């Protein structure tokens, strides 16, 4: 479903208070319920082993947040914190192993401000 990124019908009762007409209207306060909602969004918007740049992630999450009480940056941050997506060097993926992490030498050079 990642291509369209906005779901169509067939939503569980647990999601329906927070997602209406394919839009995220609010996020649950309870962390366990929030994780269910975020997992639904991650699965609907992003293929597991595809690496996305930040602008693509933002564009897809904006569609979910249009007209709701939650902004796309907050959703992106929660996806990372819940480890439903991983981020490295401005790239995002549902599978952290697909991201190009810098090796030890690259991290050392970067830490010195020489990159």
* Total Cβ atoms within 10 A of residue 59: 14
pLDDT at 98: 76
Of 100, 52, 102, 112, residue with least CA distance to 79: 52
What confidence tens digit (pLDDT) does each residue in 9-46 have? 567 888 989 998 889 999 999 999 999 999 999 999 99
Domains along the sequence of the chain with CATH: 19-111 (1.10.10)
Q: What is the mean pLDDT of residues 84-97?
A: 88
Length of the chain measured in residues: 115
pLDDT at residue 88 above 70?
yes
pLDDT at 1: 46
The region that residue 100 occupies, defined by phi over 0 for left and psi between -120 and 50 for alpha, beta otherwise, is: beta
Q: What is the mean pLDDT of residues 88-115?
A: 75
Of 97, 101, 54, residue with least CA distance to 76: 54
Cα separation, 13 vs 86, in Å, equals 28
What confidence tens digit (pLDDT) does each residue in 61-83 have? 999 999 888 999 999 999 999 99
């Amino acid at each position: 479903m990642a291509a369209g990124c906005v779901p169509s019908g067939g939503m569980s009762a647990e999601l329906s208070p927070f997602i209406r007409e394919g839009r995220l209207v609010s996020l649950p306060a309870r962390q366990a319920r929030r994780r269910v909602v975020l997992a639904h969004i991650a699965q609907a918007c992003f293929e597991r082993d595809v690496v996305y740049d930040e602008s693509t992630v933002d564009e897809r999450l904006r569609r979910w947040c249009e007209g709701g009480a939650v902004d796309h940056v907050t959703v992106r941050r929660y996806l990372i914190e819940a480890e439903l997506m991983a981020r490295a060097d401005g790239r995002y993926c549902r599978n952290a192993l697909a991201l190009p992490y810098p090796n030890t030498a690259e991290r050392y050079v970067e830490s010195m401000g020489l990159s």
